[in-house]
């Protein structure tokens, strides 16, 4: 019998937003036992206790015996990877991180049947500290914006709008997931799971232009920040702005007089928020801070800071990498959703929700199909 893995129990409990004592109450398993299993000082939980925990947490019992390498935190510890860290509760952060680990575990398993060939390399850059001499290292850049320019050069995209950002990021082997964070004010996070390329989770309930900026920001962390440091959020934003609105491409558009109607048109062209375009015009020096303030005040007055006008909405991008991995299993290898979720040690309805699959137990295909015989 394999040992119960306390990290899997921790992941499941965090994903369900339960405290140890809430889980103890719900399952009837003493909190002292739960605590010891989670911190690894006890692994000999009785089958009855493990079953009770599985029922309370709505995970198949097999989940807790998986010996997966887990990373508990995203690249930036203490929640700094969250752009609005102050507004996000610890419980929400933990649930999002647990969810990212849950996806990582499934991706690792899905990749066992597939050889992934990435179209583009996933380069790593380092913003050089001008106080420290760097002897011409290939990956050293003067700024985060330069890293974005080099990424664009590698992708051979020119300096126009980058409409399919998800596809380019996925073509580097990075898994992108549109996730449901519920009411939590989280835009996105990046996880670097052991032995896998990074996984980026984005809040699927945000407007498309905001999701795109979050993706560009998180991809900035991926290529610039193997470990956290103070300047990382500023750099990720600078990277995102240059990746989505490269100075050489957007300059001609932003040098003209900016009105809200004109910004709406630019939004439809660049697929970036009107507010992001104002910030960009300001940071590139095409408008001064007072002009930017006036534009933001006009936006506020119309309620556009809360919700930009619908007529300028841009379409949501779609992920492909993870759905291709699922297709290999569901179509080529003939798994049913039930079988595949069993293999992932996840309940079929939760698995379907995680991947936007159409599954309801009442219409699930039977495992045994009737085969006509001659």
Interface positions with Zn ion (CB under 5 A) = 233, 236
* Cβ proximity to Zn ion, 193 vs 249, nearer residue: 193
CA separation for the pair 103, 97 (Å, rounded): 10
Per-residue tokens: 150: 């080099």
Nearer to Zn ion by Cβ, of 38 and 233: the residue is 233
Residue 248, helix vs strand vs coil: helix
Specify the residue, 200 or 236, whose C-beta has the smaller distance to Zn ion: 236
Nearer to Zn ion, 100 or 236 (CB): 236
- What token pair was written down for 309? 């006008």
Chain position whose Cβ is nearest to Zn ion: 236
Residue whose CB is less far from Zn ion, 4 or 240:
240
Helix (H) or strand (E) holding 243: helix 232-244
Strands (E), 239-326: none
Hey, CA dihedral for 34, 38, 42, 44, is it positive or negative? positive
Q: How far is the CB of 66 from Zn ion (least distance, A)?
A: 30
Cα–Cα dist 124/137, whole Å: 11
Angle, helices 274-283/232-244, rounded to nearest 10 degrees: 100
Q: How far is the CB of 273 from Zn ion (least distance, A)?
A: 17
CB of 202 to Zn ion, least distance (A): 12
SS3 for 178?
strand
Rounded to the nearest whole angstrom, what is the least distance from the CB of residue 218 to Zn ion in the complex?
7
Q: Which is nearer to Zn ion, 236 or 241 (CB)?
A: 236
What are the tokens at 42? Answer: 């006890």
Closest approach, Cβ 372 to Zn ion, in A, equals 56
Minimum distance between the CB of residue 175 and Zn ion, rounded to whole angstroms? 18
3-state SS assignment for residue 189: strand
Helix or strand holding residue 21 (H, E): helix 20-27
């Amino acid at each position: 019998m394999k040992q119960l893995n306390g990290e899997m129990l921790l992941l499941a409990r965090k994903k369900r937003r339960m405290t140890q004592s809430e889980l103890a109450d719900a399952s009837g398993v003493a909190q002292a036992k739960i605590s010891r299993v989670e911190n690894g000082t006890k692994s000999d939980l009785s089958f009855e206790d493990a079953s009770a925990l599985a029922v309370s947490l709505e995970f198949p019992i097999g989940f807790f015996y998986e010996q997966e390498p887990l990373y508990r935190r995203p690249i930036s510890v203490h929640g700094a990877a969250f752009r609005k860290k102050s507004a996000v509760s610890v419980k929400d952060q933990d649930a999002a991180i647990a969810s990212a680990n849950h996806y990582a575990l499934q991706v690792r398993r899905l990749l066992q049947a597939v050889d992934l060939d990435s179209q583009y390399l996933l380069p790593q850059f380092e913003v050089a500290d001008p106080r420290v001499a760097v002897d011409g290292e290939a990956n050293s850049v003067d700024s985060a914006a330069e890293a974005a320019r080099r990424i664009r050069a590698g992708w051979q995209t020119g300096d126009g709008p980058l409409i399919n950002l998800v596809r380019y990021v996925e073509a580097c082997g990075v898994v992108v997931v549109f996730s449901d964070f519920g009411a939590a004010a989280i835009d996105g996070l990046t996880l670097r799971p052991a032995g896998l390329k990074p996984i980026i989770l984005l809040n699927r309930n945000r407007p498309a232009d905001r999701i795109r900026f979050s993706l560009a920001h998180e991809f900035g962390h991926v290529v610039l920040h193997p470990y956290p440091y103070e300047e990382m959020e500023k750099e990720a934003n600078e990277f995102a702005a240059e990746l989505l609105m490269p100075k050489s491409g957007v300059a001609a558009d932003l040098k003209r007089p900016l009105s809200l109607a004109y910004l709406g048109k630019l939004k439809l062209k660049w697929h970036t928020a009107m507010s992001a375009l104002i910030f960009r015009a300001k940071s590139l020096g095409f408008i001064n801070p007072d002009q930017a303030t006036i534009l933001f005040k006009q936006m506020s007055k119309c309620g556009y800071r809360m919700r930009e006008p619908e007529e300028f909405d841009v379409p949501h991008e779609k992920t492909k990498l993870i759905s291709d991995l699922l297709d290999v299993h569901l179509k080529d290898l003939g798994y049913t959703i039930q079988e595949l979720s069993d293999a992932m040690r996840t309940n079929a309805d939760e698995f379907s929700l995680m991947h936007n699959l159409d599954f309801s137990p009442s219409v699930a295909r039977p495992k045994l199909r009737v085969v006509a015989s001659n």
